[in-house]
Structure 1
Amino acid sequence: MNCQIFETVVNDLAREQMMEASAREQALAHSRVCEACTLRLALERRLTLWLRALAVEMKSVSPSARVEEHLLEVFRSQTPSLQTRPASRRRYWLVAAAAVVLMALGIAGMRWELYGPSQTSIKTSNNTEAQIFPIASTGAIHHQNAESTPEQTAAFYRPRRKQSVRKPARPSSSGNETLVAKGTARATNTTEAANSAQSEVTTQFLPLSYASPVSLQDGGHLVRVQLPRSAMARFGLPVNMERHGEKVKADVLVSADGLARAIRFVQ
């Protein structure tokens, strides 16, 4: 046994605590050889004797009656403070409730900023021009990609529209010329509208929420609106800063339940 191991068992030796017989014999043998460890064991034994004598003397010592009366007075003086504790507890619950309300309002504000557009229907103001295009319940949209412009690098497409087919006028009575003229005028207007629609370059439909994509077969309609160009930046589209104050046309897809689901920008 060395001095370091002796340091760990010297207290047990001085207090005569229970320990292994082999460890006790090795510690005593080391104390006979090492002078420092012998002195340390003697000091620990002396300290143990003093502490035991002090414990015996303290058993006979008891507090005086004056000390007891003073303690009772102190406890009685603290009784009113114990009665006011429910008020402080009520204040604590009020503060906790206010903190919960503030947290709820903060979370609601964050959700409004993130998901607000998906839960509100499109409302047109006096300065906004809106046009509604109905979508058939069994219709489908076919599109083809177009080249992107310097202002919009997203994938553009031109919607395919069926051109009106002229039916030859059947020979009839004297009013044939008037009917043919009216049919020709209507066909001309339809062709011009189709050509103007094909001349528009639009982006793909961009979702307005994280919900599942809306199927056009469920029904709905398109709403043509005018928005500030800064709205394009929210969807990751480039914005020409020189034309930042101008407005841009957009088609909003409104589902059958009246909620805005997707949007596309028109050039």
Structure 2
Amino acid sequence: MKFSVLSWNIEHFKGGAARLKKVASHIRKQKPDVFALLEIENVDVRALMEEAFPGYDFALTDGPEVQEILVGWRRSAFQQAVFSQKREFDVGNDRLRPGALLSVRHADVWYNLLFLHTDSGTDAPAFGNRAEMFGKTWKLKSALDRNLGGDGASRLLVMGDLNTMGLMFPKPAKKFLRVDAPTEIAALAEAALEAGMQLLTKDRPVTWKGSAGESNLDHAIASASLSFSRFGPEADAPQVKVKGWPDLSGATQASFLADVSDHASLYLEIV
């Protein structure tokens, strides 16, 4: 393993001693070299995470949006790390989150880790915003490839809450069909392939649970040039671990959903 990465939507995370302890415990169990937390709603969370993870450096997106993305990386894991805020991923809407890009140098090789929290909703504007944000991802991959001489070998990893929940037409009629979530995910996987990337496989089919049921919202997409650990003996075993509420049941699961997050975390290892 070269290094490990975790992405997690914490659901309106403002801090608080009890919740912070549970969040930090969940992260420590997986020992990631890099982790990103989505839906940060209080800048004080950065200071709290610095206290909880003294061996890490942190960066936080900053703008008029309510929710930010916090990224932390193990100081000893990389020769160099550069954080940048990719404002173009808000697609001209200042209520949407920018992309959080961490570029790290490991064994003299640069890796680009982009954490995204795309627009949520089944309405046409949200669906269109997601499509545009995905388009920005493919353009970033192309730009990175050009910087390496156009050989397609750039190392880009994209992780986060991509909110792949489909599209509901505003005026249902027989001639209109709803774009369901699996169709949106399949289209995302196809677009990734065209861009020289792959939608990574997960060890569980859903990542979110709420009053409306369960959904597959959180994903990881990577350059085809990247390789990952497989979590299982089979050649096609999953590349991403889904951890959190799916590991629990009954009252314990209900407590996690209520007190920690309704999203599971994603964990992977670049090899």
Structure-2-length-normalised TM-score: 0.21
Q: Which has the higher strand share?
A: 2
**TM-score, length-normalised on structure 1?**
0.21
The structure carrying a bigger helix percent of its residues is 1
> Which one has the largest radius of gyration?
1
